[in-house]
Amino acid sequence: MIRKAFITLATMALVVAGWAAPAVAALSDCTAYSGVVCLWKDGNAGGSIWRQTLAQIPSTSCRALEAGWNNAVTTVRLQTTGQWVLQAYDNSTCTGAVVEIFQNSGLEFTYDFTGNPWNNKISSVKLRVK
């Protein structure tokens, strides 16, 4: 009984202190911004989100994904104008196999790699103008 009460109090203290588990990201965690590239670890824009502005992803050099994101991306969204193409590479130096992600029209495009050979394969990215 005392142990159960202690566990309950400890759990309540963690929640009150803000130690609750982080919220899962959603598509709206990207669409609320403009001029960003978003990556999610899970399909359907779920799980953790990696959101970067266009200035944070170089167009003349390579941006390697940080630890925890390397080979962990399933969903990609370009929340940009139609002039940008995101080049995603299987090596951390923007070399090797590449997949280009771009919108055909409109201002944004989301691609879910679930069931695709590129699922959990992206290691680096860069932008280029169409």
Over residues 86-115, the pLDDT tens digits come to: 999 999 999 999 999 987 766 678 899 999
What's the pLDDT at 105? 67
**Stretch 29-55: mean pLDDT, rounded?**
92
**Can you list the positions of beta strands (E) in the chain?**
36-42, 46-53, 63-64, 75-79, 84-89, 98-101, 108-112, 124-129
Range of 11-25, 56-70, 99-113 with top mean pLDDT: 56-70
Q: Specify whether the CB–CB gap between 59 and 38 falls below 8 A.
A: no
Cα 16 to Cα 102: distance, rounded to the nearest angstrom: 43
List the domains of the chain with CATH numbers: 23-129 (2.60.20.10)
Quick one: the chain helix, strand, coil %, rounded to 5?
15, 35, 50
Q: Which two tokens stand for residue 36?
A: 């960003």
What's the pLDDT at 82? 77
